[in-house]
Amino acid sequence: MYEQIARNKRRTFLILFFFVGLVMAVVVAFNLLFNWGPVGFVVAFVVAGGLAFFSYFKSDKIALRASRAQPADENEYRRYHNLVEGLVIAAGLPKPRLYVVDDPAPNAFATGRNPKHAALAVTTGLLNKMNRVELEGVIAHELAHVKNYDILVTTIAVLAVGVIALLADVGLRFAFWGGMRGRRDHAGDNGIGALLAILSLALLVLAPLIGYFMQAAMSRNREFLADASGVQLTRYPPGLMSALEKLRDDQAVVHYATKATAQMWIEQPLETHVDNRSSRINRLFDTHPPLEERIQRLKEM
């Protein structure tokens, strides 16, 4: 288990490194395509920096608002608060802000930039359908995300994919609406200029897909790590195992989940089509590993 945890951490840092490299490559392609020179680089990096700053400090509020999460009243949700308070003491963490999402689908997520500024949200469906040990397993899983700083990693990944998609979309729109005219005028009959333009366009088309793929791969690794770390916290694998089995058997989807926030939830909150012939390709972009695989790994612990 410890070897798996160490391997997942190495993979995460490697994927984050590639995220930074991909953002840089898109900025370079964007600038080469329109021949804006040093000004183009400055503008691109200022915009990216502004988005990074905003995302770092506001991502948790955006995620909670997008999910329609409301603060969990301490009297109404006493069991929820008690479980969290016991687990944060065991984990050596400050108590996160607690929220509830009014949705019958059982699910949960953690968000924030660090343990001191973390928030935990669960659906009413999770509170109603899980017994105490199952709910404890789910909460321990989410607190493991907090302790492992997965919530910060998730923020970086969402930001990187957003910046890549934004730059690619703007670049392609400019290109198709005549924005490459300046590039062609400067390139003239220069074959190198034409080749750079073609390569830049290809990168702008493929970069968002590459970004989504890396984001999904990173998220899957973090789920395995959080399962293992959560079980370490509760010292009772059957609790989380039983919770994952209930999540597997429940087909409800979270009404306010989006593709942007899907990776935060403990289990895929959106509808999937596993019987489709293209399911293998679709799974490449899944933000969560199959629940059966996660359950099997817990059984082997």
Report, as residue numbers or ranges, the catalytic residues: 142
Which residue shows structure tokens 């333009």?
197
Coil, helix or strand at residue 289: coil
What's the rounded Cα separation, in Å, for the pair 252 and 271?
8
What's the rounded Cα separation, in Å, for the pair 107 and 252?
10
Task: State how beta strands 69-71 and 108-112 pair.
Answer: unpaired
What's the rounded Cα separation, in Å, for the pair 298 and 139?
16
Beta strands of 105-227 (E only): which ranges?
108-112, 118-123
What's the rounded Cα separation, in Å, for the pair 94 and 111?
14
What's the rounded Cα separation, in Å, for the pair 129 and 250?
10
Q: What's phi and psi for 176, nearest 5 deg?
A: -75, -20
Give the number of residues written for the chain: 301
Copy the structure tokens of residue 143. Answer: 């607190």
What's the rounded Cα separation, in Å, for the pair 42 and 215?
26
Element of type H or E holding 195: helix 191-234
